[in-house]
Each structure stands twice: as C-alpha cells, then as structure tokens.
Amino acid sequence: MGRLSKIFKTIDWRYSLGELFLIVSGILIALALNQWNEKRKIYDRETEMLKELKVSLENDMEDILINLNVHNQSYDSAILLLDHLKSKRSYNDTLDPHFGKVLGTTIFLTDDAAYNNLQDTGRHLVTNNSIRAKLSKLYAHDYKFIAALEEIDSQNLLLHLKPYYTRHFKNFSLFKNAEPRNYDFLIEDPEYISQLEWIRDNRMFTVYRYKTIKDKVENIIDMLDEELRDRSRP
C-alpha cells in the first residue's frame, strides 16, 4: 500500500489529466467532423437529386405542351366536323385536314429516370415533405392516369377508326389529311357521327387532365427552384 501511494505521488496528475482531455477532445472532434462530412455528403446528394428532378420535369413539360396542342386541334376538328355533318353542309376540300387531325392522339413520354433513381435511393433523401408528397402523387397517380386515357384512345384508333378510315377515305395521312370517298355517306352514317362525338368528349377530358398535370408540374418546378435557391445562399 505504501509503495502504491508513492507511485501515485510521483504522477503529475495535472499533466496526465490534460493529456487525457486532449485525447478525448481529439476523438470527439474527429467523430464530429466525420458526422459533419456524412451530413454534407447527404446534403450534396439531395441537392444533385433536386436538380435532376427539375430537369426531368422540364423535359416532361415540353411533351405536355406538345400533347396539349395535338388534343386541342383534334377537339377543334371534331367540333367543326360535327357541326358541318349534322347541318348537312356540302363538302369542300378545306375539311380534309380536319378529317385527318381529328384522329390526333399522343403518347406521353415521361422522363422518369431521376424519379426512379430517387425511388431506388430512398424517397427520404428529399427532405422537403411537400415536394416529396407532390412528386409521389404526380408520378403514382397523375402520370399513370393520363397514360391510361391515351391507351384507351390508341386502342380505339387501331381497332375502330383506322379500319373505318381505310374503307371510307382516300389520300389518308394519319393526323394530317383524309379525303372522303363518299361524303354524303358520312353525313348519314351514325357510326361515324358517334365516333366524332366520342373523340370530342374524350379530347375535352384529356385536355382538362393535361392542363391539370401542367399546373402541377409547374408548381413542383417552382418549389424545386425555391429550394435550390435557398441552398445556394451562404
């Protein structure tokens, strides 16, 4: 016991405790720096993901605007042709572009690479809850709904309208031009009138859905812009 007491007396406790403090402080600082670096990496990954999502949505917007134009033209042509046929007006070749355009349909080509990447990485990478929720609804509901509408339209075109046009039109260029073989027959044909009415109603609803999607995409792009601006500030 006496020897142990002598050993303790020879130890410079202030120096030893100082060294211990420095060692513990160094470990804690290293851990804190490592944690900061990991958080920074996640932050940078999220920033890049937000940029990629913004580019993807901007690409989608280009296709949305093109498709909106096609469906609007098809709707206008259906209205014009129905009015002309139901009024039993005489034929003139200015109707031919409308006979072609009325068949106009689209396939929405979404740029979903960034969103799929987010799904693989984990949606929690986007920490803005509002952006994350709006993206999820857009891709899981709105985009799928418009794709289903277009699929129905494409099937009707392939199974009904295209065969009908092959029989009753000449100089047929899909979505551009079609010349009736017997215009008077079309005036009295309930099948063609019914198809035009279906196209009119379908295009009206499709235009409404596309405008809704356009507004949502614009809103999310604006939110992404704001989020990225906040991140660029020191």
Least confident of 31-40, 105-114, 208-217: 31-40
The per-residue pLDDT for range 52-107, each reduced to its tens digit, is 999 999 999 999 999 999 999 999 999 999 999 999 999 999 999 999 999 999 99
Instruction: Give the containing element (helix H, strand E) for 172.
Output: strand 169-173
d(CA 136, CA 138): 6
pLDDT the model gives residue 173: 86
Helix axes 13-86, 190-232, angle to 10 degrees: 160
The per-residue pLDDT for range 174-209, each reduced to its tens digit, is 788 999 999 999 999 999 999 999 999 999 999 999
Instruction: Tell me if 46 sits within 8 A of 126, measured CB to CB.
Output: yes
Phi, psi dihedrals of residue 103, rounded to the nearest 5°: -85, -5
Res 1 pLDDT > 60: no
Cross-strand partners of 173: 177
Burial class (CB in 10 A: 0-12, 13-18, 19+), 47: middle
Q: Is 182 helix (H, G, I), strand (E, B) or coil?
A: coil
